[in-house]
Structure formats: structure tokens, C-alpha cells
A and B are shown apart, each in its own frame.
Chain A
Amino acid sequence: QQQVKQSPQSLIVQKGGISIINCAYENTAFDYFPWYQQFPGKGPALLIAIRPDVSEKKEGRFTISFNKSAKQFSLHIMDSQPGDSATYFCAASMNRDDKIIFGKGTRLHILP
């Protein structure tokens, strides 16, 4: 019930293309779904997050789509750039519990 499943494990996208990373969860008590971005040699940093009362959140080229009934959420990176090459982690947590559960990560490479 605590698991967050992330796919794909790695992804290669041409510059200007759309990168899509998917996550699924089982625990319906989760109510906060962040995405973290990690560059080599750095710790992860919050990229964008969503709560289940909305189906989509957009910040610049990054969009989270959330499907509560399917218990799935995804990150879309529009007009992908080489600078977006990083590892991306989806995550989930419950409001009553500060512990955040992470997916296994997706290594994204944007071809120049």
C-alpha cells in the first residue's frame, strides 16, 4: 500500500519533444504528489507538486496530470531541452504523515 510505481526507468527524447513519465499508487490516503528533479552530483529538488483536488497543474513547460480514479499521475515536459536531462522521482505522502514515499526514478536524457 505504501508503494509508488514509476515508469519508465530510463527515457531518451529528442530536443523539442515531449517527455512523459508515469506513476501509479495504491494507497488512497495519499493526498500530496510531488515530483523531484535530480542533477548529477546534487540532491533532489522539488520541481512541481499536486493535490488530488485538481486534475492538472502546469508550471512553465512542466505539467502534472492526475487521475484520481485510476490512481495514476504523470509528468509531462513540453519542448524538452538538454538542460532537462536529469533523474526524475515521483512521490506521494499523506497529510497526516510527513514521510514521503518515492518512486524508483526515471533517468531522462534529452538529445541535442
Chain B
Amino acid sequence: DVKVTQSSRYLVKRTGEKVFLECVQDMDHENMFWYRQDPGLGLRLIYFSYDVKMKEKGDIPEGYSVSREKKERFSLILESASTNQTSMYLCASNTGQGATSGASLGELFFGEGSRLTVL
């Protein structure tokens, strides 16, 4: 089974702190994504990556950065956390367009989420 693991389920940070959210997938997926989930707003894409050291902005990249040094690992960084970044953060991965794995093209595999509270 595909597994996407987010290192921290719950975090409490103070305004201005630097926050790292780590995500690891074990299916050799090319693509990795970070979403944030807020009530009534659904899943909004922050950043995504098609390959190692590549990154692209999603719909709400402001206040965030990402790092993908290895294929299996995708990190979300909040350089200076603010209270409006209190949210549930979800990491996901899927196969690239040219891949031949058994998963349905486009099927996203999500981690269980990291709930971040910024005080």
C-alpha cells in the first residue's frame, strides 16, 4: 500500500517562529503536493513539485516555501509563522504523467495531516 507519512500530527508554535512540516512517501511517486484545509474553504494547493529540486506555486503560496532534496521527501516551511496560518496541512503524492504504476492516473495519496496552531 502507498504510504504518505507526515512527521507531526499536532504542532503548536508561536507567532514569528520558523516551522517545518515534513512529508515522506514510499511509492517512488514523481509528484508531491502540499494543501491546507480550512472549514468552508476546502483543500487549497500551496505548492507542488514534479521532481527533485523542482517546485511550483499553487493557489496560496504566500508565506510558505518548500524543499524537495530527495524524491521521497517534500517539506513545507513557514519562515515566520502567523496566526492566520493556523490550519490543517495535508501532504499528497501521485504518479507523473509518464509513469506506468498500477495507480489510477491522477489518484492522489494523502497523509493524515498536520494540525498546526499558531499562537
Contact = CB atoms under 8 A, between A and B. Distances in A.
B52 to A, nearest CB: 15
Given A46-B107, A100-B106, 14 more contacts: A6-B42, A36-B108, A42-B113, A43-B4, A43-B112, A45-B109, A49-B104, A49-B107, A95-B97, A98-B97, A102-B43, A103-B42, A104-B41, A105-B43
A41 interface: yes
Contacts of B97: 95-96, 98
B60 interface: no
A25 to B, nearest CB: 14
12 contacts: A34-B106, A42-B113, A43-B111, A43-B113, A45-B109, A46-B104, A93-B106, A98-B96, A100-B108, A102-B35, A102-B44, A105-B43
**For the complex, would chain A's binding face be called helix, strand, loop or mixed by DSSP majority?**
strand
Contacts of A34: 106-107
Contacts of B43: 44, 89, 102, 105
A42 B42 CA distance: 14
B50 interface: yes
Interface string A71-112: 000000000000000000100010110111111110000000
B110 A45 contact: yes
Interface string B83-96: 00000001010101
A46 B42 contact: no
A49 B108 CA distance: 12
Contacts of A36: 108
Contacts of B41: 104
Contacts of A9: 40
Interface string A52-78: 000000000000000000000000000
B45 interface: yes
